[in-house]
A = this chain, B = another copy of it.
Amino acid sequence: MELYSDAYFMNEAFKQAKIAFEEDEIPVGAVLVCRNKVIARAYNQTEKLRDVTAHAEILAITAGSNALGAKYLPECKLYVTLEPCVMCAGASFWSQLGELHYAAPDPKRGFSLLSSSILHPKTKVYKGLMAQESKELLNAFFKKLRN
């Protein structure tokens, strides 16, 4: 079995963010990985679904649980291009997520502004991979929105 790197998976999440960009959604993408395999891909769809809960992470957790037939995801890794908000961090808590990898920090609504204890105590956190590209894509989106 070929083993993929964190960079590979984050790039898969970034591809999802680019789809969001093309569809005029705030460009955040996520993939959920279980045993070296992507089991869910999702991007922010709050506009299309007119649903504030349709963040990439929530959609990936729901789809991944459905794919696995399991509520809990202790062997799964979530790769997401932006630091999760409180809602998404709370969802990852309930899922008992194994690893959270996020690219760009979110200085306005990131969960870590409030408390890192929002996450499950067993969730390992990694950050910074593809942070620059992810942030630039967000900046380009908001620039497009203003014009």
Chain A residues engaging chain B, CB cutoff 8 angstroms: 46-47, 50-54, 58, 61-62, 65-66, 69-72, 85-91, 93-95, 114-115, 117-118
Contact = CB atoms under 8 A, between A and B. Distances in A.
A78 to B, nearest CB: 13
A47 B90 CA distance: 18
A51 B62 contact: yes
A69 B94 contact: no
B88 A90 contact: yes
A53 B46 contact: no
Contacts of A72: 52
A15 to B, nearest CB: 23
Contacts of A50: 65-66, 69-71
Given A114-B115, A114-B118, A52 B94 contact: yes
Contacts of A117: 114
